Amino acid sequence: MMATDDDRRRALHALAAALRGQGYRVTVAGHHLRVEDGTGRATEVWAQSRADDNGRLWFTRAGGAPICEAVQIMDAVVAVKGALAQ
């Protein structure tokens, strides 16, 4: 079953809350969020259904590269931290 827009928003807001709890500045807009650290580095995370995974909702990088399933919030937090550290 394909994820709905509400599913995407809920997943992004859950990730945003976890990232804010880690001290990051997060802006949610549409089907993605933008995360900024204190040094000006930023990255984006999108919530997209994956047809090759029965329509399950995944977090992806801008451009569509998969990060993890949207239910794996802490895995996404680790991926965001890694992206910001580069």
- pLDDT, tens digit, for every residue of 9-62? 999 999 999 999 999 999 999 899 999 999 999 999 999 999 899 999 999 999
Look at the alpha carbons of 67, 70, 74, 80 in this order and tell me if their dihedral is positive or negative.
positive
Residue with tokens 């919030």: 73
Q: How far is CA 29 from CA 13, 16, 41, 44, 53, in A?
A: 10, 11, 18, 10, 25
The yes-or-no verdict on residue 1 having pLDDT over 70 is no
The yes-or-no verdict on residue 78 having pLDDT over 90 is yes
Residue 8 near residue 57, CB atoms below 8 Å: yes
Residue 27: which residues within 8 A CB-CB, separation 6 or more? 33, 34
